[in-house]
Amino acid sequence: MNREIIKYPNVHGVSLTKKGTPTSFPSHWHTSAEFVLIRKKGCRYRIGDDIYTPEAGDLLIIWPRELHEILSAPKDGYTLLQCSSAIMESSTDIAAANRFMVKCHHISKAAHPQLAKELADLISNLSEIYKNETYFKETKCRVEIYKILILIGEHVISEQREILGNEFSDIAWGYIRHACGYLCEHAGEDISQKDVAAEVGLSPFYFSKLFREYTHMSFPAYLADMRVQNAIALLANEKLSITDCAFQSGFQSTTTFNKIFRESTGCTPREYRKMHSNA
């Protein structure tokens, strides 16, 4: 499979492109989420096994690690917003709702005009923040992304409640929220799936099954991603050695740390620090 490493040259974890967007792009995947605001008729996308032909004003959503392809698009036919999966994984609410949200790939302006308008307005707001050099740009961009995710999440949860009725499990969602919250606090420690299962009051087997079902990731992969994001924050402090960053973020060896960090970001921790150094 063709993996693409997303670069974030201007705002850490966020990329926005309006001009010069690709008119075609071969099948690929990445760990970032992608929000595609359609501006012109004639766009054709493949997401997974499905083909989408959205209209102007529609929003396409590609979730992290989903195989997708731009079959065709007019010049400057869409606005492309990409964001690090860490933005979603650091929110226990969004992580718990991921089971339902990843099923949503197309929000049609014709079917949901108010929602489509609100999402388009948020992407427009984010675009203004992104291109203006102001203080707290990264945080402001993330706030807009969270607003986008909340709108999509509320829309999806509402639809799922109507479809599933009594089968919709607030209890299971509560377990996953508890687990994700616990991981946020303790990812830097030597914890296991068994420890987290005990914390939320489930058997390790059932917890593993439920966690994968809701987050669409295995527990080890989710924990590794969280530790990489913790390491990225620590790497900003150049007084800490690479080894210090590895162990403080929860990795038990520098070999494992370097391997997983490279798989997640496309570069080594040392290369990442050099690229983002203020020097």
Structure tokens at 61: 């959503």
Residue 170: the pLDDT is 73
Decide if pLDDT at 277 tops 50: yes
Residue 19: the pLDDT is 93
- In the structure, what pLDDT confidence band is assigned to residue 87 with cuts at 50, 70 and 90? confident
The string of pLDDT tens digits covering residues 148-187 is 999 999 998 888 766 555 555 678 888 988 998 899 889 9
The mean predicted confidence, pLDDT, of the chain is 90
Structural domain boundaries in the chain = 14-166, 170-216, 220-279
Place of tokens 């924990």: 223
Q: Are 88 and 94 in contact (CB under 8 A)?
A: yes
Structure tokens at 219: 């527990």
DSSP string, 211-251: HHHHHSS-HHHHHHHHHHHHHHHHHT-TTS-HHHHHHHTT-
pTM: 0.77
Residue 279: the pLDDT is 41
- In the structure, what pLDDT confidence band is assigned to residue 267 with cuts at 50, 70 and 90? confident
Residue 216 CA to residue 1 CA, distance in Å, equals: 19
pLDDT, average across residues 4-12: 84
Decide if pLDDT at 94 tops 90: no
Q: 3-class SS at 89?
A: helix
CA-based nearest residue to 13, from 25, 27, 1, 30 = 30
pLDDT, average across residues 17-32: 93
So what's the architecture of 14-166 in CATH? Sandwich (2.60)
pLDDT, average across residues 54-82: 96
pLDDT, average across residues 133-147: 91
pLDDT, average across residues 4-23: 90
Most distant CA atoms of the chain, gap in Å = 57
Residue 1: the pLDDT is 54
220-279 — its CATH code?
A: 1.10.10.60
Place of tokens 């669409």: 216
Residue 156 CA to residue 212 CA, distance in Å, equals: 19
Residue 162: the pLDDT is 63
Decide if pLDDT at 73 tops 80: yes
